[in-house]
Amino acid sequence: MKEKSCNIPLDSKTEIFVKFGCEKKDISKFAVLLFLYYNKKWMNIDRFDTSHGYVHRDVIGKDGMKKRTEKFSFLSFKSGLNIAIEFYKENYESCVRRFLDEKL
């Protein structure tokens, strides 16, 4: 299996990290993580991945713990990968606001 990864900067404090595996031109797994530079370190605040065998999104709190999961089991891995990247490009500001507005 071939694995590839890249970072997609969104602004000076926010970026997308993409990692995926391919087998014979098919996406076999992926993770798309939204990172925010917060409290002098990069924190993963939201992610789409296929770690449970289907596409899902985990919303992460300031404590680094998963707050909720949204399942997208109807998506193929290829569609899920593309949708996740586009979702963060279009909605990262609202993800950041949600994270920053969370009360500890």
Rounded mean pLDDT, 7-17: 98
Round to the nearest angstrom and report the end-to-end CA distance of the chain.
41
Phi-psi region of 24 (alpha: psi -120 to 50; beta: other; left: phi over 0): left
Rounded mean pLDDT, 7-35: 96
Residue 98 pLDDT more than 90? yes
The pLDDT of residue 34: 98
Provide the residue range defining the domain that includes 45: 2-101
The pLDDT of residue 18: 98
The pLDDT of residue 104: 61
Rounded mean pLDDT, 10-29: 95
Looking at the whole model, is its pTM more than 0.85?
yes
Q: Looking at the 3D structure of the chain, how many domains does it have?
A: 1
Confidence of residue 103 (pLDDT cuts 50, 70, 90): confident
The answer to whether residues 55 and 73 touch, using CB atoms and an 8 Å cutoff, is yes
